Amino acid sequence: MNRHFFAAAWLCLFYGTGASPALADESADTSHLRVLAGSCAACHGTNGNSVGGTPVLAGLTPAYFIARMQAFRAGKLDSTVMHHHAQGLTEDEITLLADYFSRQARVTSRAPTAENH
């Protein structure tokens, strides 16, 4: 944190601004997208590899993903839950998620080890 602050402060000497746009770069976007996509995992599995019951998102073509999400968003597709999520996302986020999931490899998700209790 200190290190970081120091670096940012140092950059400000050159750019004369506290909120350096130079540091709000693609790395932040990447981490932003990972976290957003990561929150889909509770229902759709790690990186979109559902163990069942919900669609596998990994490897979907972006156009299909976007069409489905836009339809949920517009209420043109019946859904129980997905319209609540689609309506909370921006157009850009839907496009980024479509790209993210299209790049994920399809793998078989695993179940955790059952323990006798």
Partner 1 sequence: MQRREFLKLMSAAIAAGMLPTTVKAGQARGRVVIVGGGYAGATAAKYLRLWGGEKLEISLVEESHTFISCPLSNLVLGGSKKIGELTFGRNGLDHYGIRRYEHTASFINPEQRIVMLTKAGTSLMMPLQYDRLIIAPGIDFVWDRYPALRDAAGNPLTPLRDAEHFGESPQPRIPHAWKAGAQTVALRRQLEAMPDGGTFVMSVPKMPYRCPPGPYERASQVAFYFSRHKPKSKVIVLDENPDIVSKKALFLRAWNELYPGMIDYRPNNVVTEIRENGGQDGFRVKTEFDELSADVLNVIPPQCAGDLAQGMDNVDGWCEVDFMTYESKVVPGVHIIGDAVSSALPKSAHMASSQAKVAAAAIVALLSDAPPDPQPVFANTCYSFVSDKLAMHVANVYRYDAQKKIMLPAEGGGVSDRASEQESDYAQWWAKNIWSDVLT
Rg (CA), the chain: 19
Q: To the nearest whole angstrom, how small is the minimum distance from the Cβ of residue 77 to partner 1?
A: 15
Q: To the nearest whole angstrom, how small is the minimum distance from the Cβ of residue 36 to partner 1?
A: 5
7 or 63, CB closer to partner 1? Answer: 7
Q: To the nearest whole angstrom, how small is the minimum distance from the Cβ of residue 37 to partner 1?
A: 9
Residues that bind partner 1 (CB under 8 A): 1, 3-4, 6-8, 10-11, 14, 22-32, 34-36, 38-46, 50-54, 80-81, 83-89, 93, 109-117
Q: Are 72 and 83 in contact (CB under 8 A)?
A: yes
Q: To the nearest whole angstrom, how small is the minimum distance from the Cβ of residue 63 to partner 1?
A: 22
For helices 91-102 and 62-74, what crossing angle results, to 10°?
150
45 or 68, CB closer to partner 1? Answer: 45
Which residue reads 């839950």 in tokens?
A: 81
How far is 83 from 90, CA to CA, in rounded Å? 13
Cβ atoms within 10 A of the Cβ of 56, count?
Answer: 19
Nearest to 70 by CA among 54, 89, 47, 51: 89
18 or 115, CB closer to partner 1? Answer: 115
50 or 102, CB closer to partner 1? Answer: 50
